[in-house]
A and B are shown apart, each in its own frame.
Chain A
Amino acid sequence: MEKGTWEVKAGLAQMLKGGVIMDVVSAEQAKIAEDAGACSVMALERVPSDIRVAGGVARMADPERILSIMECVTIPVMAKCRIGHLVEAQVLESLGVDYVDESEVLTPADESNHIWKHGFKVPFVCGCRDLGEALRRIAEGAAMMRTKGEAGTGNIVEAVRHMRAVMSEVRKVQYMAEDELQAEAKALGASLEVLRQVKVLGRLPVVNFAAGGVATPADAALMMQLGADGVFVGSGVFKASNPERVAKAIVKAVTHYQDPAIIAEASKGLGDAMPGIDVRTLKQEQLLAVRGW
């Protein structure tokens, strides 16, 4: 009997497919998310839009808060650590969280190195903007990916840009000859071995969710149609005027992402979505997706 293997790490992400992972900051919110049909929750100190407002250094959440969330739901609980902060990751592993998100939403602890994730029993999810970034994280041991988008904006444009980039590069790689793969691995800054897997599978070798800017059921279905295996919703649920209804509607839109009539029905009378931000008005230092490499 072997624990903490690659198969069980990547396998848990496969069980989350077709689902919605919601950011929560309290046990009450976690319960609302679970009852609405979330397949997992991300336990946080603040949702990303509040992190933007608060400023300063954003760190791993208080273990007490994470544990209180783990106690009140039976779906898997994820939590974020700073990029490169291997001790925050060790702490989260010791708490027994089901997935660690090495996340650009928190202030990076290391601007050169990401965590060597193969050394952990707990699986990791990481963000990416393109195929090269995804493959670097997978080579370090990320068992699940998510496109970064621009968290806390309620604006889907960056999530679309990143998912489009990953998917079109995957399509391109599928038709490459072996000699071209060598050059492509160099150009992408990616491991040739993982790139070969992409060619054979015709997709990333791990589950890839969309994140960063999903605010409506139609946003969620859009990301699914572009090739996401599932969706993270950060501020989009609990910054909406009616979180419970929005949460249920987004779950519905992800299951039935190819059925516009059901998405239309789910989108009716949801109240105000979270107030959004035009990403072009953000200054360079306010962008989260550029953190990490």
Chain B
Amino acid sequence: MAKIGVLALQGDFAEHIAVLHRLATDCREVRLPGHLEGLDGLIIPGGESTTIARLLDVYDIREPLKRKVREGMSVWGTCAGMILLARKLVEDRPQPMELMDIEVQRNAYGRQVDSFEADIPIAALGVAPFHCIFIRAPKIKHLGPGVEVLGKLTEGGVVAIQQGKLLATAFHPELTEDTRFHEYFLSIVAGQSHDPYPGPD
């Protein structure tokens, strides 16, 4: 059975773990580099990307995490997690991990009063639209050629993407009762969905 880690430096990691438990998944919290050992997949939760990025370096997790991805570990980033997976940010900080070929702008819809909810069709999850909660959400400003779009707002903004074994959403499936996105990630981890990670660029 696949082993899934949830990066637990800061943010709503407990919400992701609660969903994984509902799906009877073997999972653990990741706070130190050693906790990455033996993982097949990792979720980077929502939270404050500035805080999480800083703590990745304080505890020397950044390089071991990138190495695990090169060795085939799947990663899914939600909101702050998407920011950290990006190749480049519009702002000059924090330093992202450069794992997915996207350029991302943080807090791109405005401040908290502009946070919103929307129902979005996501073909990979079936017919019923997915209820998406966007909180101080990031926008994808540029997509590389190897990146597949899974979902868009009606206005056209891309909010869910996949690149090989890497997945990113600008919203928070872990805040809803709908487990389809977590199940989709588990299918990627199990190799039932796509080819192995092709690498950025």
Residues of A within 8 A of B (CB): 1-5, 7-8, 11-12, 14-19, 34-35, 37-40, 74-76, 93, 96-99, 121-123, 251-252, 255-256, 259
Contact = CB atoms under 8 A, between A and B. Distances in A.
A255 B111 contact: no
Contacts of B136: 12, 15, 76, 98
A40 B134 CA distance: 18
B113 A75 contact: no
A251 B172 CA distance: 24
Interface in B39-83: 46-48, 50-51, 54-55, 58, 79-80
B112 to A, nearest CB: 4
A38 B113 contact: no
Given A3-B115, A19-B51, A37-B54, A8 B107 contact: no
Contacts of B115: 3-4, 8, 11-12
A2 B106 contact: no
B116 A1 contact: yes
B135 interface: yes
Interface of B: 8-15, 31, 46-48, 50-51, 54-55, 58, 79-80, 91, 106-107, 110-118, 133-136, 153, 172, 175
Majority secondary structure, A binding face:
loop
B134 A15 contact: no
Nearest to B154: A1
Given A1-B117, A19-B11, A74-B107, 6 more contacts: A4-B113, A8-B116, A17-B47, A19-B10, A19-B47, A96-B110
A16 B91 CA distance: 21
For B14, B106, B113, which residue has the most chain A Cβ atoms within 10 angstroms? B113
